Copies of this chain bind each other. A is one copy, B any other.
Amino acid sequence: MLTESIHQIGAAAKAAARKLAVLSSAQKDKALRIIADLIEEGAERIKSENARDLQQGKEKGLSKALIDRLTLNDQRIKGMADGLRDIANLKDPVGEVLNINRQANGLEIGKVRTPLGVVGIIYESRPNVTVDAAGLCLKSGNAVILRGGSEAINSNLCLADVLRSGLTKAGLPAETVQVISTTDREAVQIMLKMDNYIDIIIPRGGHGLIRAVVENSTIPVIKHDKGVCHTYIHKDAELEMAVEIAFNAKVHRPGVCNAMETLLVHQDIAAKFLPKVGERYQKAGVELRGCERTRAILSSAVAATEDDWYEEYLDLILAVRIVDSFKEAVDHIDQYGSHHSDAIVTTDYQTSRDFLAEVDSAAVYVNASTRFTDGAVFGLGAEIGISTQKLHARGPMGLEELTSVKFIILGNGQIRE
């Protein structure tokens, strides 16, 4: 029964995707703008459905941070609508011809950008993801199946209703956007096996969610895993710059994935650098967890355990380690990091080049804060997430990363000899 209804959703998405693939940009943009208006007009209804989720969340004892992420107020509702209008203004990647070359036999062979088809998104509490993801998928010509967290189910179903009204009003298939309406966990298991209907699964959430998806999906997955980001202060770093970057990377917004979690410091600069940055951290209320040598310099630091090097705190907590060499820093990043965003602060040309070449992360920085890893900053216009894997998309994913390509071959009777 459940299997059947989830399969129906898959089949309907696939049918919608075929129609979406051949729409003009103007048709898709019109739908995005209609939906944006309907979201603003429906603010009261959205807030009242959201209030039911908030009430249940409070009864269940959700943390203050989770309640905050779950909350939709007028400003956030306007934000969702404006987000859709921004997406409407972005360039449509579909249909772009990447190159066409003529072969000796006269065949013209090229590549054209196409939608992926059907995108499945599995996410946790923030209901605005429902609208952002649907908007990005629509613009890139994909149908989307959304599976949000049970805490946000009323908000998500209400938003889906608005989205589908807008699609219908614009003359597009309502099945372009479908939200799985049951909170039964079994529904996700069924969804993850529908590789005949779904072309890609994007899980967004904690490490547990990501692992469960990776381990059970027969559909290709693009992971948006944790960000264990490092800043490494090389021995020759400019001291003031190093302090500013290390401070910004940790303190500017500690709850996000591009915030620094571990600070690595070359032994030759530690005695000068750590007291300076330590003072800044102390004033900002950052808890430090250091290696033994760090604690010899910064007495306020508690002892770091092996686990600390793997930790994504998402909080005002920082692991600090003194390393003997550049190589030790790079090895640490390789072993403990999540290959998200990692920075070096150095004045040496060759060291900067070695860091860029040897650190195998989605974003590798020289002399800047890791906080810049972001679709908007990187010029993608909008992002559906930040991929921490190497296949298909790496780092911030925008519209282009929601597309595939196909080869087109234009002939006038060529056969293979």
The majority secondary structure among interface residues of chain A is: mixed
Do the beta carbons of B109 and A406 come within 8 Å of each other? Answer: no
Counted per complex, copies of this chain come to 2
Interface-lining segment among A41-49, A214-222, A293-301: A214-222
A77 contacts chain B at the CB level, 8 A cutoff:
no
Within 8 A of B (CB), among A376-417: 377-379, 389-392, 394-396, 404-416
**Nearest residue, chain B, Cβ from A249:** B415
Taking the complex as formed, is A328 at the interface, i.e. its CB lies under 8 A from any CB of chain B? no
With both chains docked as a complex, state the minimum distance between the C-beta of A97 and any C-beta of chain B, in angstroms.
10
Residues of B within 8 A of A238 (CB): 413
List residues of chain B with CB within 8 A of the CB of A369.
414-416
A405 CA / B378 CA spacing, docked (Å)? 14
Chain B residues contacting A404 (CB-CB under 8 Å) are 390-391, 394
Taking CB atoms, residues of chain B closer than 8 Å to A409 are: 363-366, 368, 372
A107 lies within 8 A of B368 (CB): yes
Q: Are A406 and B392 in contact (CB under 8 A)?
A: no
Whether A156 sits at the interface, judged by CB under 8 Å, is no
- Specify which chain B residues have a CB less than 8 angstroms from the CB of A373 in the assembled complex: 407
Which residues does chain B contribute within 8 Å of A411, judged by CB atoms?
A: 365-368
Given A367-B412, A413-B368, residue A362 in contact with residue B407 (CB < 8 A)? yes
A357 CB to closest chain B CB (Å) equals 5
Q: Are B415 and A252 neighbours in the complex by a CB distance under 8 Å?
A: yes
| Residues of chain B lying within 8 A (CB to CB) of residue A244 | 413, 415
